[in-house]
Structures are given as structure tokens and as C-alpha cells.
A and B are shown apart, each in its own frame.
Chain A
Amino acid sequence: MKYFNHHFGEFEFEEKHIVDFPEGIIGFENLKKFIVVDDEDSQPFRWLVSIEDSNFSLPLIEPNLIIPDYYIPKMPGKKSVFVVATLREPFEDSTLNLRSPIIIDNDTQVGVQIILEDEKLRYDFSLKLETIPE
């Protein structure tokens, strides 16, 4: 399958890689179908790319790269956990939203952005001094 995206131009993907978000993403509830794009230049960040709106893509990161044991889904089955990265220039102003991770079920390819009740989790966790493992 082919789709066009403002960052990546025309790109191809297999249907099995489509992640279905029945409730959409918070603030973008009308968008339901996405692909997680692993762009070499953007690593360790990834992109949640809409295949319904060619101008929509959201930078993500696996929070466990930065904060071990940040959040482990209690639901059964294999899940991928991401958080939305608000990246800015200068980089020092960049943050992660730890309050509402995106959980993708790897077996069913269904995703959801949840809101965690823990009020200590920040919307604007600073990336300034963070490091990633080799």
C-alpha cells in the first residue's frame, strides 16, 4: 500500500503494519489509522504517521529508553509503549508527555492513548539532561 506524508513523501507499507486507534489520539479523535515509522535519521525517535491525513505525524519515543520501569501495561499480551515527544529548538526545551502514553497491542495492532492517574507524572518531562543506552 502507498501513502503520502509531508515528512516522508510517498512511502510504502504493508497492510499488517496498520495500527488501528478506535478512539483516535487525544485532540485528533477523527484519525484512526496509523503506521509507526522508524526513520533512521530520527532514531531513537519514531513517528506515528496517519494514513488518513498526510499532514499528521507525531514524534514518539519508547520511554523505557530514558526512564527504566516507567510504565508496564497490566493488560495481557505483547504491548509497545511510547510517549509523545514535544521536541523544540533549542533542544534544551524539549519535553516528553509521561502522563499519557500510547500503548499498541502487537498482536491485534490496536492502539490507544491512555491517561495515567499518577499526578506526579509530568506532561513536560525535560529531555535536556537525558541519555540513551548505546
Chain B
Amino acid sequence: MLILTRKISESIVISKNIKLKILEISDGQVKLGFEAPDDVKIFRSEVYDQIERYNTEAAKTLKSTVIQAARMLKENSNKNVKR
């Protein structure tokens, strides 16, 4: 891992077209500003990891589980109609 030390308002350039600027440091938190082309996706890593986790689990769903869930959802709806 490359490690660089930066001060507030200093920045880092990645591959010419991505710029990362240190905006604020306080109470153990760093505020970062990004300048990047639209097709460069920037996510908080824990958000990305969560979505990957849900996608991975969903991709393993058995067809029978989906059919069962479809049935349950319809049953819920029918119960509500009767109420």
C-alpha cells in the first residue's frame, strides 16, 4: 500500500483525471472532496460491501424459495383485503 501524508487543502491525483482533496480534519474524521469523470464510481467501502453481500446472497436463492415468497406475499394481500 502506498502511504502519503497530506495537509488540509492539499490533494492527490490518481491517473491524471481523479483528484482527491483533503477538506477538513476534526475529531478523528476526515472530509474528502473528489473530482472525477462521471463514469468513475466512488462509494464508501462499507456501502459497497453491504450491497455485494445482499447481491451474492440473492444470487443463491432457490427457485422454490422465490415461488414460496410469491405465494406468501399474495396471501398477505388477501388477508388485508378481508380485514
Query: A residues engaging B (CB < 8 A)?
Result: 7, 23, 25-28, 39, 41-45, 47, 56-59, 84-89, 91, 94-95, 97, 99-100, 113, 115, 123-124, 127, 129-134
Residue contact A130 to B51, C-beta cutoff 8 Å: no
Interface flags, B46-72, vs A, CB<8A=1, else 0: 011011111111110101011111101
Residue contact A127 to B67, C-beta cutoff 8 Å: no
Whether A100 contacts B51 in the complex (CB less than 8 A), given A28-B59, A42-B63, A85-B58, comes out as yes
Docked CA distance A131–B70 (Å): 10
Whether A91 contacts B77 in the complex (CB less than 8 A), given A25-B55, A26-B52, comes out as no
The residues of A that contact B43 with a CB separation of less than 8 Å are 115
* B73 close to A (CB within 8 Å): yes
- For the residues of B in contact with A, the DSSP-based class is helix
Known: A84-B55, A85-B69, A87-B68. 15 other contacts (CB 8 A): A42-B63, A42-B66, A43-B70, A58-B55, A58-B58, A58-B59, A59-B58, A86-B57, A89-B65, A91-B73, A99-B51, A100-B51, A115-B47, A133-B77, A134-B81
Residue contact A86 to B51, C-beta cutoff 8 Å: no
* B74 close to A (CB within 8 Å): yes
Residue contact A27 to B67, C-beta cutoff 8 Å: no
The residues of B that contact A123 with a CB separation of less than 8 Å are 50-51, 54
* B80 close to A (CB within 8 Å): yes
Residue contact A97 to B54, C-beta cutoff 8 Å: yes
Residue contact B51 to A131, C-beta cutoff 8 Å: no
